[in-house]
Structure 1
């Protein structure tokens, strides 16, 4: 039975729209609602379209953009409830689409036609096809490396976004045979290798080598957790080193005055101590300035001097 047949069957009863009907609008539904947080900007059609369809499906309105709910014919009755409800839903869905499309694109889209026609126009104009997008995603995956100052969370999120979108284009159907577990395990191991390969070698080279030595190779979840733990440990170590260096410098240059660094007055701050010509702060020189050279470089110079 088609959606039209269902609606015709409903029209023979009391003149109300049942809550299970796609023609039903909830009291909370309004033209300002956003069915997704993703805004279509002309270049992200596939991701946006999936998000919109998911949002509309949750509201039992996906059949509208699929063209399965046609406009009921007028039977000459002014208060034809199905026709009125269809017009209201159609107008509501057009408003919802406008809300999740960049305003710069509004003038190029004909919103006055039925919402399924609006949806088809968007698909024909902006859907680039699967093959080019899959190629682009795989290229991005091969080039995905942890950037300087990028956290593990940020790097992993970029990777996962690519994995998830590639998964949407997969043509392999869910397998129920005995080989399913092996296929899933192989895909998991491939992701582990991709994650580890993209890590900053200087910071995580050791832990990467240790994880790759494990047999069988660890899971993606465990690899992420261990690398994240290493990141936090490294951050805490750096903070302690900075504090210790600051305390030692303060004692070296301010200890002879018989008071700690917090006891210096504005009038004698820096008295008898070096002042950096770069940052204008006391108790270090430009050669050892963290602001100019960075913490790692200054520490490397100190270690080299013994």
Structure 2
């Protein structure tokens, strides 16, 4: 039984190792793993995209060192070399033409990855300064709320990659440090979000700052976005009212009000005015909006006189 179990485990390990070396038909030399190549200024976003792509293809072990290079006399050496060369080629294809020549002679995918990390990665303190400076100086300006928050969140993610928050090492974090660190980080992000927000969000900003406990930045963004949606609807309604008023002022003839004929197959009861909320007419023929026409007043007076005459006859 023990011999059989050991054999099964060995077979599973060998099968798993072969899967790492396996290259699918879609893994060809012309494949692009990222949409935007590395240009020296977009390393963090580019790095994240490459890691996701390599994880999806089960090739992360080639850059982390988990998949070791076999000895040259090993039967697995050619499989490893073939897969490693494919990973190198993917990297070279994802680097801009201005930079690719300096990485062309890397001996392995892991060496190439280490060179990229040293040149553009977490050891690059000017990049850390650049990200922090962008966060501190970012304001909404003419950007929409969605564009402003998206850009700010991207900078937060880049900062978290460059300088991760400290992690509590006690088992289960009985000291409460992990929770305290997370709360401090969330409060800092909320304040950063509010500092760059436009002045027309002062009301919602003041309301949120009075909450206890303070919400996370993404929740505050959701509340502010709701206010922006309401403001857009209000502006749209005002624009519509102004356009109608301009049309009336510019040449609307009171005699033409209500004189529009019904369309073929249309009934009077099918029409509804969104201004006075009554059926039988549309907003463009609404007397309450465009003033009552002369003929309507004359007709109303005739009806009144007719009723008065009928009452007088009965008396």
**Separation (CA, whole Å) in 2 of partners of 1:170 and 1:38:** 25
Give 3-state SS (helix, strand or coil) of 1:18's partner. Answer: helix
1:21-60 to 2 correspondences below 5 Å: 21=18, 22-60=20-58
* Higher Cα Rg, which structure: 2
Match of 1:204 in 2: 201
Cα distance change on mapping 1:257 and 1:171 into 2, 3 Å:
closer
Report what 2:147 is aligned to.
Answer: 154
Structure 2: 5+ residue runs without aligned partners?
1-6, 261-315
Deviation at 1:27, TM superposition (A): 3.7
CA distance in 2, matches of 1:219, 1:116: 38
Change (3 A) 1:31 1:137: same
Q: Hey, what does 2:227 align to over in structure 1?
A: 230
Match of 1:119 among 96, 99, 113: 113
Residue 144 (1) aligns with residue 141 (2)? no
Alpha-carbon shift at residue 147 of structure 1 (Å): 1.8
- Say if 1:190 and 1:210 are closer, same or farther in 2 by CA, change over 3 A: same
1:218 aligns with 2:212: no
TM-score (norm 2): 0.67
Give me the whole-angstrom Cα distance separating, in 2, the residues matched to 1:222 and 1:120.
Answer: 38
Seen in structure 2, the aligned counterparts of structure 1 residues 192 and 120 have a Cα distance that, compared at 3 Å, is: closer
Show the counterpart of 1:61.
Answer: 59
Deviations 1:237-277 (A, max 9, x none): 111111111111111121138558xx9xxxxxxxxxxxxxx
State which drifts further: 48-57 or 135-144.
48-57
In the superposition, relative to structure 1, how do residues 98 and 257 fare at CA in structure 2: closer, same or farther (>3 Å)?
farther
Name the residue aligned to 1:279.
none
C-alpha deviation, 1:182, in angstroms: 2.6
TM-score normalised by L of structure 1: 0.68
**Cα deviations by residue, 1:77-102 (Å, 9 ceiling, x for unpaired):** xxx5x233123212211221123212
Following TM superposition, by how much is the alpha carbon of 1:207 offset from its aligned partner in structure 2, in angstroms? 1.4
